[in-house]
Amino acid sequence: MPADTLDTDFPAWSAELHGHQVIYRTAGSGPPLVIVHGMVNSSKHWREVALRLAETHTVIVPDLIGHGDTAAVRGDYSIGAHAAVIRDLLSALQIESATFLGHSLGGGVAMQFFYQFPHRVERLCLVSSGGLGQEVSPLLRGAALPGASAIVWAASHPAVLGALDGLGTGLGRLGWHKAVYMKAVTRALRPLQGSGQREAFLQSLRSVIDRHGQHVSAIDRLYLLGPVPTLVVWGERDRTIPIEHGRNAHELIPHSQFRTLPRAAHFPNLEDPDGLADVVSRWLAETKPYCLSEEDWAELIASRLVSGRHLRAA
């Protein structure tokens, strides 16, 4: 059912899953393409990119649980739980398989979706993705610490955000090159003004990050993406997740492509939506969907299976 009618070219729809409301936005027609946003983002933040990709695809952008307009519930905020909700939403929409684009946390969710439901992923695009190395910004490591909820509450207060936003704008006019990062911080904090959104953010964050950095890694399973067309995209100005993670992932994923965006930092969908849409559109035009069969999956697993051992009871 429609959730609103204000944005006619990128409308929001509502689905009830397991008694909870899930919001998603759609545009276009053609083969399905699912965009999985990251933390402190939502489907709204992908409007410009989605409308470009909708020229050739049916684009579906769900709000992850606890993000955007989807309900914040008490429960599991792990990447596996996010992936399962997307699976259930696609089943409700009668979409058997799709191309996936995942950004930041959403990249980790998209990779987890692939590992859980490989036959439902036709292609995979990872944009400044999590889950590809330990290093992350000190800001994210700090937010994962015990007691950080009070700091997040204070930092997301409207008065604080207004002051930071004004300061960033003023410094930007004076030519301070790091003003863009201050603006990015205020943009990230603004969705966290509600208690439910703050709790969802902290639970999602702590499911993948601790004081040492990312503690969830997909590196040992990237070889499984070999037959699936895969694109890795990174903003060259990213200070949240190092661009080296993208380069290393490209080396580990057979036949993958790697592209960088000189104008973008960690949020290419907001910092360079045209550049990101151009890169993804070309990749979609140049590649063909491929869905792994059970036989394909078994062969891939067997290709890295050193040996099987019988364990005798002591």
DSSP string across 133-169: -S---HHHHHHTSTTHHHHHHHHTSHHHHHHHHHHHH
Average pLDDT, rounded, for the chain: 84
Residue identified by tokens 């960033």 is: 168
Catalytic option among 43, 204, 266, 272? 266
Determine phi and psi for 21, rounding to 5 degrees: -85, 130
The reported pTM is 0.83
Q: What is the pLDDT of residues 174-226, one digit of tens each?
A: 665 555 555 555 555 555 555 566 677 777 778 788 788 888 899 999 999 99
Note whether residue 308 is domain-resident.
no
Measured at the CA of 292, the angle between CA 294 and CA 23, to 5 degrees, comes to: 110
Note whether residue 284 is domain-resident.
yes
> Alpha helices, DSSP H only, in 5-72?
47-53
Distance CA 104, CA 123 (A): 17
Catalytic option among 42, 43, 97, 104? 104
Catalytic option among 43, 67, 156, 238? 238
Minimum mean pLDDT range among 57-61, 101-105, 143-147: 143-147
Confirm if 68 and 42 have CB atoms less than 8 A apart: yes
Neighbouring residues of 182: CB distance < 8 A, sequence distance ≥ 6: 164, 167, 168, 171
Determine phi and psi for 188, rounding to 5 degrees: -70, -35
Which tokens hold the place of 106?
A: 């959403």
Note whether residue 310 is domain-resident.
no
Distance CA 92, CA 111 (A): 21
Note whether residue 231 is domain-resident.
yes
Q: How confident is the model at residue 77 (pLDDT cuts 50, 70, 90)?
A: confident
Distance CA 64, CA 70 (A): 7
Note whether residue 291 is domain-resident.
yes
Question: Any catalytic annotation for residue 217?
Answer: no
Burial class of 137 by CB neighbour count within 10 A (0 to 12, 13 to 18, 19+): middle
Terminal Cα-to-Cα distance of the chain (whole angstroms): 59
Question: Any catalytic annotation for residue 307?
Answer: no
> Alpha helices, DSSP H only, in the chain?
47-53, 79-92, 105-116, 138-143, 148-155, 158-173, 179-189, 195-206, 243-252, 268-271, 273-286, 294-303
**Cross-strand partners of 16:** 21
Count the domains in the chain: 1
Note whether residue 279 is domain-resident.
yes
CATH assignment at residue 230: 3.40.50.1820
Determine phi and psi for 143, rounding to 5 degrees: -65, -20
Note whether residue 206 is domain-resident.
no
Q: What is the pLDDT of residues 245-282, one digit of tens each?
A: 999 999 999 999 999 999 999 999 999 999 999 999 99
Note whether residue 150 is domain-resident.
no
For residue 43, what are the domain limits? 12-134+215-303
Q: What is the pLDDT of residues 17-74, one digit of tens each?
A: 988 889 999 999 999 999 999 987 889 999 999 999 999 999 999 999 887 777 677 7
